[in-house]
Amino acid sequence: MELPSISVITPCLNSAATIEEALESVRSQGYPRLEHLVVDGASTDSTLDILRDAPGIRWISEPDRGRVDAANKGARMAAGDVIAWLNADDRYLPGALDAVGATFAGHPHAAWASGYCRIIDAQGREVRRAVSAYKRLLLRRWSFPLYLTQNFVSDPATFLRRRAFEGVGPLDERYHESHDYDLWLRVAHRHGAPLLIERDLACFRMAETSLSMTRFEHQFQEHREIARRHGEGHPIALGANRVMSTLIPAVYRVLRFARRASIASA
């Protein structure tokens, strides 16, 4: 059973505060058939110094149109049988790529696979455990109509055959925050459900300054639009998406307020 080669793509811009941790999380996997591509958007902090000194990566730095453009560049550069995107402020957990490789090796015709993902804060502490548990529950019950209701597939813990990406890609630059949801719906429409890897594979950093927090409402506006584009014939799921796209940002506002209050009182 031959393990597939894996290409991990990290788009970055002025990511000196976190990228060393992301790079180490890939390098320490020890996966035998691995390439790590870093696509930098012409950083002006010390990111490039870190990349120059980092072993085991291939990188470029040039102006781009943002994260989605960089992610597509990386996919075009990738040589692996399987590709994945890992943000510069996220990280893999130990043994993640071994689990991914074994899963694809055991299912050679599968197009994509997804596992569980922890949410961490700026200091790397796990937060939002209830949210992670909720997303795990939905992922275990994956169906196309259920996925139309909300995005419970975690991008850092999701892996895709390069040939499948070439058939449905590239990532759509119209969606600045929710391009992953659009891609996974396209993949699902053509290839069906992802293989489920029932273990934590990655950590997604939800810091106060991250894109997912500062533009949360816009992210869910994109969710509604993307679901409409892909949801023909699923009116109940689209109605649920409209409700969830209003409810989830409201819940996160409450959680963020509660966390700030807890920090202030500590």
- Per DSSP, the three-state class of 223 is helix
- Whole-model pTM: value is 0.92
**Each residue's pLDDT tens digit, 8-28:** 999 999 999 999 999 999 999
Per-residue pLDDT for 257 more than 90? no
Q: Could you tell me what percent of the chain has a pLDDT over 90?
A: 85
CA-derived radius of gyration, the chain: 18
The whole-number pLDDT of residue 260 equals 75
CA-wise closest residue to 44 among 87, 23, 13, 21? 13
Q: Which CATH architecture has domain 6-207?
A: Alpha-Beta Complex (3.90)
Taking the C-alpha atoms of residue 40 and residue 211, their distance in angstroms, rounded to an integer, is 17
Summarize the confidence of residues 104-129 as an average pLDDT: 95
CA-wise closest residue to 96 among 205, 192, 6? 6
Where do the domains of the chain lie?
6-207
pLDDT band at residue 211, thresholds of 50, 70 and 90?
very low
Summarize the confidence of residues 51-71 as an average pLDDT: 97
Q: Exposed, middle or buried: residue 144 (CB in 10 Å: 0-12, 13-18, 19+)?
A: middle
Per-residue pLDDT for 106 more than 70? yes
Summarize the confidence of residues 145-151 as an average pLDDT: 97
The whole-number pLDDT of residue 6 equals 98
The whole-number pLDDT of residue 145 equals 98
